[in-house]
A and B are shown apart, each in its own frame.
Chain A
Amino acid sequence: MSGGGSLVCVGVGMTLGAHLAARARRFIEQAQTVFVLVSDRLVEQWVQGMNADVRSLQPLYAEGKSRHDTYREMHDLVMTEVRAGRQVCAAFYGHPGVFAKVPHELVASARAEGFDAHMEAGVSAEDCLYADLGIDPGRVGCQHYEATQFLINQRLIDPSAYLILWQPSLAGDRSLSRHATGAAWRALLVERLLRDYPADHLLTIYEAATLAVVPPRVESLRLDQLLDAELRLQSTLVIPPSRPVRPDPVMLARLADLESATRLPPAPSLQGKQPCPT
């Protein structure tokens, strides 16, 4: 970092001490000011031990306060320091650019105002989920939605792929000011899922480990049990496929035609011939 204000948004990963990349750590250590927004107090204190000027963004949240206001205040706090010519690092839990509005807006704003700004990738809850649950998103496909966006929009769900819903404890909160929604909201989420999945379909509630000495939460339940399940801010719903992938015979036939039309002539047989000297 040199000259004028600058900004880097880094991710500290999900598990204290396990996921922070060396490069991201150096940005935290060398910044003039660090802002931090992470999942729990220990992780916050861990980051505070890396730099003499670490400022928590946590106090900007409040029950009953619109998160739009919270996000705007976070943005303004960080940008004030960048505009003051400081080298700023904003450290977020997980990956700073995954399901995170503020870091993307910060980088865009800083660049628009002519400052050096970039984002460093981090280990997200999604990454941990794949490892802990043994899911390869490339095997049958994987759909991700923020739970309220899933609920309020006419999404076309493919039940032959994984469906992963983030922040289900807040599903349906249009006020953006609650810290959890109640049973009536949850009932609507279950009702929506029942359009695409049977009531006895097995789901998983997942929470990545934030401390290495504590295992991740992996809890299986049927869809019709979701209404009474304990969902917290950090909970994610993992809904496996309910039916096999359906091949598209028309596209398969067209691809076969293409293969036939472009097939290379067979290689000449080497049978009975001496191999070339090398």
Chain B
Amino acid sequence: MSHLIEFLESAAAKLTGLSQEDYARAVAALDIPQELRDALLARDADAINRIVDAGVPMMMILAPAENHPNDDRAPAEKDDEDDDTSKDD
């Protein structure tokens, strides 16, 4: 897999994309499973990730949809308490 990562890092660093022929040659030279090679040639991000993730999809949620259920106080009220807490620290 390290070959693939080096290839992707190198592809990202190039100022212009490879021609389709050069790209196909570069992918063919990678030491990776055939299905991953096919996904790369198809430029299919879903397939690439499916193969690499081995059936365990990555999560990428970091934004809370809302405040914590126990944290429904008005902002001013919360700020007051936060200030008190920071002083205690």
Contacts and interface: CB of A to CB of B under 8 A. Distances in A.
Interface string B1-31: 1101100111111000000000100000000
Contacts of A147: 65
A40 B52 contact: yes
Contacts of A42: 1, 4-5, 8, 48-49, 52
A147 to B, nearest CB: 8
Interface in A178-214: 179, 209-214
How would you classify the secondary structure of chain A's contact residues: helix, strand, loop or mixed? loop
Contact of B58 (A39, A149, A176): A39
B89 A112 contact: yes
Nearest to B64: A101
A167 B1 contact: no
B74 interface: no
Interface string A126-155: 000000000000000000001111001000
Interface in A58-103: 58, 61, 67-68, 71, 92-93, 99-103
Given A44-B58, A113-B89, A233-B60, A167 B65 contact: yes
A18 B4 CA distance: 15
Contacts of A148: 65-66
A71 B64 contact: yes
Interface residues of A, number: 49
A99 B64 CA distance: 8
A38 B49 CA distance: 13
B8 A212 contact: yes
A176 B64 contact: yes
Contact of B62 (A99, A209, A234): A99
Contacts, number: 114
Contacts of B2: 45, 49
B53 interface: yes
Contacts of A93: 60
A68 B71 CA distance: 11
Nearest to B62: A100
A149 B65 contact: yes
Given A18-B12, A41-B58, A166 B63 contact: yes
Contact of B8 (A44, A92, A213): A213
Contact of A170 (B5, B23, B65): B65
A114 to B, nearest CB: 9
A46 B2 CA distance: 8
A200 to B, nearest CB: 29
Given A49-B2, A213-B23, A233 B61 contact: yes
B85 to A, nearest CB: 8
Contacts of B34: none
B59 interface: yes
Given A41-B53, A210-B45, A214-B44, A67 B8 contact: no
Given A211-B45, A213-B11, 16 more contacts: A16-B8, A16-B9, A16-B12, A40-B53, A41-B52, A41-B54, A42-B4, A42-B5, A67-B61, A71-B62, A99-B63, A101-B62, A101-B64, A102-B62, A174-B65, A214-B44
For the complex of A and B, the 3 pairs showing the least CB-CB separation, nearest first, are A17-B12, A17-B9, A148-B65
14 contacts: A17-B8, A68-B68, A68-B69, A113-B89, A167-B61, A170-B65, A174-B65, A176-B65, A176-B66, A213-B23, A214-B44, A214-B45, A214-B48, A233-B60
